């Protein structure tokens, strides 16, 4: 697959860990690479850097200076989704958390989480990815998917009660009863 601008920017920083760079230097390298590899010019290096910083992958050392430090970055695992897949997952989910609907437009950080925890299946396709907000990503990371699902329905239930949506209230009740029946404990 052809590399995206995010992939190339990441390549650059990963090849030079713990070194400070201004976007100009990165732009120079990425421009060369993109012309050599793809035959055309990829633009918006600055935007890609800002996005990777927003996702806590790059560290902003000071204004206009960025660094990649494998020890300080939010745990990017080797089997994490590569940037171009992340972007595709975000785009499909409209840059919003699939649980609560909060997203970039609300100033909330988003993450691409994999549905299947099995390393082999993790990155095989974007259908294995979900967009999650900060809060739900950290819940999901620490709990099983089934337990995370319970939180989702607990929140849906609260919302349904608040707006008096009886059909949804009953639906959530049924699901939460099933959780209780199987003794999957709540997290709160
Ligand atoms: Zn959320």
- Distance of CA 137 from the midpoint of ligand 1 (Å): 7
How many of the other CB atoms lie within 10 Å of CB of 71? 6
Q: List all residues 6 or more positions away from 95 whose beta carbon is below 8 Å from its beta carbon.
A: 103, 104, 105, 110, 131
- Distance of CA 135 from the midpoint of ligand 1 (Å): 6
How many of the other CB atoms lie within 10 Å of CB of 166? 9
- Distance of CA 126 from the midpoint of ligand 1 (Å): 19
Does 107 have pLDDT greater than 70?
yes
Assign 116 a pLDDT band (cuts: 50, 70, 90).
low
Choose one of 67, 95, 111: the last residue of a domain. 67
Q: Is 185 exposed, middle or buried (0-12, 13-18, 19+ CB in 10 A)?
A: exposed
Q: What is the tally of helices (H) and strands (E) in the chain? A: 8, 4
Does 169 have pLDDT greater than 80?
yes
Q: How far is CA 56 from CA 61, 163, 170, in A?
A: 12, 36, 40
Assign 187 a pLDDT band (cuts: 50, 70, 90).
very low
Q: Is 10 in the same domain as 53?
A: yes
- The overall pTM is greater than 0.95: no
Alpha helices in the chain (DSSP H): 5-15, 23-38, 45-54, 83-92, 119-122, 134-142, 145-162, 166-181
Q: What is the pLDDT of residues 22-53, one digit of tens each?
A: 989 999 999 888 888 777 777 788 889 988 88
Do the bridges between strand 110-114 and strand 65-67 make them parallel or antiparallel, or are there none, so unpaired?
unpaired
Q: What is the pLDDT of residues 61-106, one digit of tens each?
A: 888 899 998 777 655 554 468 888 899 999 999 999 998 899 999 9
Is position 135 within any domain? yes
Does 185 have pLDDT greater than 70?
no
- Distance of CA 136 from the midpoint of ligand 1 (Å): 5
Predicted pLDDT of residue 57: 84
- Distance of CA 147 from the midpoint of ligand 1 (Å): 15
- Distance of CA 96 from the midpoint of ligand 1 (Å): 8
Q: Is 10 in the same domain as 63?
A: yes
Q: Is 134 in the same domain as 149?
A: no
Is position 95 within any domain? yes
Q: Mean pLDDT, to the nearest integer, of 111-120?
A: 68
Domain range for residue 168? 145-181
Mean pLDDT computed over every residue of the chain: 83
Is position 187 within any domain? no
Per DSSP, what are the bridge partners of residue 67? 59
Count up the domains in the chain and report the number.
3
- Distance of CA 12 from the midpoint of ligand 1 (Å): 31
**What DSSP character marks residue 96?**
B
- Rounded Cα distance, 140 and 126, in Å: 18
Per DSSP, what are the bridge partners of residue 103? 96
């Amino acid at each position: 697959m052809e590399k995206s601008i995010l992939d190339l920017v990441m390549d650059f920083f990963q090849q030079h860990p713990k070194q400070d760079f201004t976007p100009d230097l990165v732009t120079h390298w990425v421009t060369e690479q993109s012309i050599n590899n793809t035959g055309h010019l990829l633009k918006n290096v600055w935007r890609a850097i800002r996005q990777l910083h927003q996702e806590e992958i790059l560290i902003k050392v000071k204004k206009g200076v960025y660094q990649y430090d494998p020890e300080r970055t939010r745990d990017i695992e080797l089997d994490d989704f590569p940037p171009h897949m992340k972007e595709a997952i975000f785009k499909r989910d409209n840059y919003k958390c699939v649980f609560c609907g909060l997203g970039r437009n609300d100033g909330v950080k988003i993450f691409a989480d994999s549905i299947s925890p099995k390393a082999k299946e993790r990155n095989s396709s974007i259908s294995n990815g979900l967009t999650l907000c900060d809060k739900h990503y950290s819940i999901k990371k620490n709990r099983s998917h089934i337990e995370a699902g319970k939180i989702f329905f607990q929140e849906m239930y609260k919302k349904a009660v608040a707006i008096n949506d009886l059909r949804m209230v009953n639906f959530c009740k049924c699901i939460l009863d099933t959780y209780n029946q199987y003794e999957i404990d709540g997290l709160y």
